[in-house]
Amino acid sequence: MELNGIKPGEGAKHYKRRVGRGIGSGIGKTAGRGHKGQKSRAGGYHKVGFEGGQMPMHRRLPKRGFKSHLLKFNAEVSLSALETLGLAEVDLLVLKTSGLVGQLAKNVKIIKSGTLTKAVKLNGIGATAGAKAIIEAAGGTVSAPVSAPAESK
């Protein structure tokens, strides 16, 4: 091997196409942009959703609905999920470690879906009226969560 024989690896360097450099290059004059029109001009292209001046679809359709940004902090757990958990005392930390609610959850509510036969004591977890009746019928208790003050922006 000699110093004058060293070459870069295969595919390491590639030909950079230089447009608009004369008729002999094959991509001179219009430089592959065709003739006239918005796409041929420098800086000329429409924005996303532009429909040639016609009222765009996202403005023609009515706006509807609302999704709260606080929804990610709320979670629901069914009675059947509590049954499969099989613990006597359940709080927010237990639900997070078992994977029944997400790690971001702050407010958890037990919903009436399924059945419950074991007595379960809920600490700092809410329950719907129907779920509360079933939990208390099974010999469990529900201690209402402490409501936190509303967060401001």
For the chain, give the mean pLDDT.
Answer: 89
Q: Compute the C-alpha angle 80/85/87, nearest 5°.
A: 120
Using CA atoms, how far residue 151 sits from 63, 70, 93, in Å, is 27, 10, 22
pLDDT for 44-75, tens place per residue? 888 899 998 999 999 999 999 998 898 889 99
- Which tokens go with 117? 């036969």
Domain regions of the chain by residue span: 71-143
Please, what CATH class does the domain formed by 71-143 belong to?
A: alpha beta
pLDDT for 116-133, tens place per residue? 888 999 999 999 999 999
Using CA atoms, how far residue 152 sits from 55, 78, 105, 114, 149, in Å, is 37, 31, 18, 37, 9
Predicted structure pTM score: 0.53
Q: Would you say residue 97 has pLDDT above 80?
A: yes
Q: Compute the C-alpha angle 102/104/105, nearest 5°.
A: 70
